[in-house]
Amino acid sequence: MTRRMSSSIALLLAASFMTVSCSKEAEPKPMQERVKITVHMIGGTPLPDPKEDPIKQELDKKLGIDLAIRTFFPEDYANQVKMGMATDSNADLLYIGSRQEFVHYSKQQLLLDLSPYLDLLEPTLQLIGKERLQLAEVGGGVYGLPRTVTAYQYSYWIRQDWLEKLKLNVPRTTDEFLTVVKAMAERDPDGNGRRDTYGFSGRPNQALGPLFGAFGTTYPGSFYMKDNELINSLYDPATPKALSYIRSIFETKGVDPGIVSNTNLQHKEKALQGQLGLFYFNWPNWYQEEYLSVNADARWIPIDPPQGPNGDRYAYGKNVSESILVIPRSVGNDKVKLNKIIQLLNYVSSPEGNKLVMYGLAGKHYTETNGTVAVHEILKETLGYAYQLTGRDEMGYLRTKFPEREADFTMAARQPFIPIYDGLIQPPDGFRLDDAKRYIEQELWRFVYGQRPLDSYDGFLQELEEQFQYESGYVASARQQIALRHEGKPEPKTSEE
């Protein structure tokens, strides 16, 4: 793409904005004349019917587009992206959360290099911060846009009314946590005379994260710094200790027996139906009105992760790389659509557009006086977040839109985390990372369920080495890559370059 071609698109874009800004009362284009823009993203709840979606309606009318956003559960989304990349059938805009996949697709020339369009994307860059573009750089190109920094939303939620009935306090330590999980399964907290309740659930990898964190490590397989050295959690002496504790949790029979299958929102439904006394979930999708409508006596509160025997308390591993919004390279062949996509990104990043996707329609859903926003009608969170394509002023948004939930989102956001480097690490050529991950996951659950003795953990690491060269290949390469990054040197080339 030449700078001359980029300039021609800039003129087209400028003309489009003049039309939008100077002709607000102009008749909207008929649907058949609008440019269709599709977006795929992770989300637990599908968007409403377009007729009941005021943000979509306003964006469509304002920009002359037909915006279609589709959400997927995490596991389904990963497969959707892979299939779409393989068949050139992805959406016009999508997010890639894995740094490895992002680099792979960039080097395969499946993503559009945005370098020639950065001048056109100035309003977008003002919101996300130009310095954050380095997160989307590969081999001298810029192949996507990172969002603004978002706050962590997950925590353990516990039935306070059950705690009071059982005469137990909110668990602060791993020992107290174990006691609570066991009691909620054994001591009939719902008073129905049957043993049909459980004290622990959630999506499996998320729910176990704080329990590994209580021992100063992460869910197995992540990279982090410890004593100024990059370490993979599988080789941290704290990991078998954490596995031993987690096994003791499972041995109580207080764990949701379907936890491994909680890939969507099964745990939420179980909590709503009164089967759970503690589970790991995100506050925006856990409404008091919803669970009280099912059980008026339920009192759910978020709690801090438990503190381990050595004083460690970490809620999760936070990747130092982030999800990147990308445009497939093939979309660049349609200059009209590309122009509309740039216009869309700039508008939702502008002060006016960002307020639309954060709060809804000015004058109806919110008003603004001297820079202070007052929200009058709360839109469902799924309505706003899906359209915040480039991000938002996180804490300002949350305090404005959800003042009554400040205790919940503040607690979730302030939880301590371990910075992990997984997203910055490229597997060496020929290394079968997906196969290795499946093997690790398989053996992890065998340890947890008591199907494999913990004293065979060293044997497990040896098997991992023999089958995949995990330590000598993957871990050694990761240390080299991170060391070179810290020295400011270019990373080693792979066969894809």
Does the domain made of 154-314 have the CATH classification 3.40.190.10?
yes
Quote the CA–CA distance of 59 and 348 in Å, as a whole number: 9
Q: Per DSSP, what are the bridge partners of residue 225?
A: 230
Mean pLDDT lowest among 64-68, 74-78, 210-214, 232-236: 74-78
Q: Is the pLDDT of residue 464 over 90?
A: yes
The model's pLDDT over 114-128, given as tens digits with 9 standing for 90+, comes to 999 999 999 999 999
Range 394-398 average pLDDT: 89
pLDDT band (50, 70, 90) for residue 381: low
pLDDT cut 70: percent of the chain above it = 90
Least confident of 17-26, 96-105, 329-338: 17-26
CB atoms within 10 A of CB 374: 10
DSSP code for 137? E
| Average pLDDT value over all residues in the chain | 89
Strand ranges of the sheet holding 278-282, from the earlier edge strand across to the other edge: 278-282, 154-159, 300-303
- Residue-wise pLDDT for 12-39, tens only, equals 444 444 444 433 434 555 656 899 999 9
| Model confidence at 147: pLDDT above 70 | yes
207-236 pLDDT tens trace: 999 999 999 999 999 999 999 999 999 999
- Note the pLDDT of residue 110: 96
Q: Which residue is it, tokens 């559009």?
A: 112
Residue 97 vs residue 341, higher pLDDT: 341
Least confident of 114-123, 284-293, 438-447, 465-474: 284-293
pLDDT at 280: 97
Pick the CATH number of 3-150+322-405 from 3.40.50.620, 3.40.190.10, 3.60.21.70, 3.40.470.10: 3.40.190.10
Cα separation, 209 vs 217, in Å, equals: 9
- 93-96 and 35-42 as β-strands: parallel, antiparallel, unpaired? parallel
Position 327 scores a pLDDT of 97
pLDDT 10s digits, 271-319: 999 999 999 999 989 988 899 999 999 999 999 999 999 999 999 998 8
pLDDT on residue 27: 52
pLDDT band at 401 (very low <50, low <70, confident <90, very high): confident
Taking the C-alpha atoms of residue 10 and residue 206, their distance in angstroms, rounded to an integer, is 44
Q: Rounded to whole angstroms, how far apart are CA atoms 17 and 327? A: 21
The tokens describing 90, both together, are: 């992805």
pLDDT higher than 50, residue 410: yes
Q: How far apart are CA 484 and CA 496, in angstroms?
A: 19
CA pair distance 213, 223, nearest whole angstrom: 13
Q: Map tokens 């892979």 to a residue.
A: 82
Whether 3-150+322-405 shares its CATH topology with 154-314 is answered yes
Instruction: For residue 240, give the 3-state DSSP assignment.
Output: helix
Give the pLDDT of residue 21. 41
Answer whether 126's CB lies under 8 Å from 350's CB: no
Checking DSSP bridges between strand 366-369 and strand 372-375, what pairing results, if any? Answer: antiparallel
| Per-domain boundaries in the chain | 3-150+322-405, 154-314, 425-487
SS3 316: strand
What does the block give as tokens for 389? 């394509």
> Which residue intervals of 350-495 are DSSP H helices?
351-359, 381-385, 394-401, 406-413, 433-448, 457-468, 476-487
Question: How crowded is residue 148: how many other Cβ atoms within 10 Å of its Cβ?
Answer: 18
Cα–Cα dist 123/146, whole Å: 14
Burial category of 366 from C-beta neighbours within 10 Å (exposed 0-12, middle 13-18, buried 19 and up): buried
**Would you place residue 9 in the very low, low, confident or very high pLDDT band (cuts 50, 70, 90)?**
very low
Cα dihedral 330→334→339→345 (10° resolution):
-30
Query: What percent of the chain has a predicted confidence (pLDDT) above 90?
Result: 70
C-alpha span between 185 and 276 (Å, rounded) = 9
- CB proximity list for 355: less than 8 A, separation 6 or greater: 362, 366, 368, 373
Residue 191: both structure tokens together: 């008073």
456: nearest Cα among 215, 244, 209:
244
**Residue with the two structure tokens 């991992």:** 464
Name 373's bridge partners. Answer: 368
The pLDDT assigned to 150 comes to 85
Please state, in angstroms and rounded to a whole number, the distance separating the CA atoms of residues 159 and 174.
18
Of 102, 151, 111, 146, the closest CA to residue 127 belongs to 146
